[in-house]
Structure 1
Amino acid sequence: MRMTNTLRLANLSLVILFPIAWFAPLMRAGVLPIFGLSEISVISGLQSLWKTDVALALLVTFFAIFAPYLKVIGIALIQFGLMRRKVLPALEILGKLAMADVFLIALYIVIVKGAGYVKVETGWGLYLFTACILASLAISHLTRKR
């Protein structure tokens, strides 16, 4: 029973941590260090993307915001007995899709750092967002075993 309550608490904490991660700085970037660096978050990145490429913005919005949040809510419903466990494999797929978003952000940082004219520094939000995704994967795995 104690492990069940711990999993519930950990999962419900993601309801608060994910929105913090969306607004936290993923990276700071700028053209040459002398011009200063702008902070980029999931939300600011999505705002820019909506102005340039709506289709890609829809896809990234799903991966970065809806997939992880739907998974957390679904796991909570299972943990509290309000949804059947048969849904768990579908929820785990949502978590894997969200992890793809972290991979893309990391890939962008590596590509931009190689350009030479742009300075990119990793922000604490990237670590928080990644930790939230990994915690969500672990919670769903442990919930499956219960």
Structure 2
Amino acid sequence: MRYLNLALLVLFPIAWFAPLMRAALLPIFGMTEISVMTGLQSLWQSDLPLALVVTFLAIFAPYAKTIGLALLHWQLLSPRALPALRHMGKLAMADVFLIALYIVIAKGAGHVTVDVAWGLYLFTGCILASIFISWRADHG
């Protein structure tokens, strides 16, 4: 488990820059790839409070949890921190839910075309792997 957790330290940044979806107002004009980072860039320019929340959910929470679990695996952090780490993982999963909700809303808008890209699966997989690792740390 400790090496899977360390792999997440590499996979999370890849997932942040990977395309989550491709969107276009009209598909004949080409589709724009949207990643966690491009979405955050847009949010920081348009909606600061939402940008802070999404930055915490998408970047800080999953990475802090992964670092915390690594410290726990190498006995550098007390097992009493595990409940807090589990809550960090649940917050990160909320971000995946928000992305999925945005895709559903955009698809229902009519003239908008949205295609899910491989980065959404990678990001979701990273979050789920992190939740599984913390569950194993708690029960193993």
TM-score (norm 2): 0.99
Whole-angstrom distance in 1 between the partners of 2:119 and 2:46:
24
**Residue 18 of structure 2 is aligned to residue 16 of structure 1:** no
* 2:7 partner amino acid: S
**Residue 51 of structure 2 is aligned to residue 63 of structure 1:** no
* 1:36 partner amino acid: G
* 1:107 partner amino acid: L
Whole-angstrom distance in 1 between the partners of 2:20 and 2:93:
15
Deviation at 1:116, TM superposition (A): 1.2
* 2:34 partner amino acid: I
Deviation at 1:109, TM superposition (A): 0.3
**Which of 61, 70, 75 is the matching residue for 2:69?**
75
Match of 2:119 in 1: 125
**Which of 30, 34, 42 is the matching residue for 2:36?**
42
Structure 1 runs not aligned, ≥5 long: 1-6
Deviations 1:86-140 (A, max 9, x none): 0000000000000000000000000100111000000100000000000000000
Deviation at 1:32, TM superposition (A): 1.3
Equivalent residue runs for 1:83-94 within 5 Å: 83-94=77-88
Match of 1:100 in 2: 94
Structure 2 runs not aligned, ≥5 long: none
Match of 1:3 in 2: none
Deviations 1:31-90 (A, max 9, x none): 111111000000000000000011110110000000000000000101100010000000
Whole-angstrom distance in 2 between the partners of 1:34 and 1:83:
53
Deviation at 1:145, TM superposition (A): 1.5
**Residue 61 of structure 2 is aligned to residue 52 of structure 1:** no
TM-score (norm 1): 0.95
Runs of 4+ in 1 over 6 A off after TM superposition: none
Report the secondary structure of 2:33's partner residue.
strand
Q: Please, what is the CA RMSD of the aligned residues?
A: 0.5
Report the secondary structure of 2:19's partner residue.
coil
Question: How many percent of aligned residue pairs carry the same amino acid?
Answer: 66
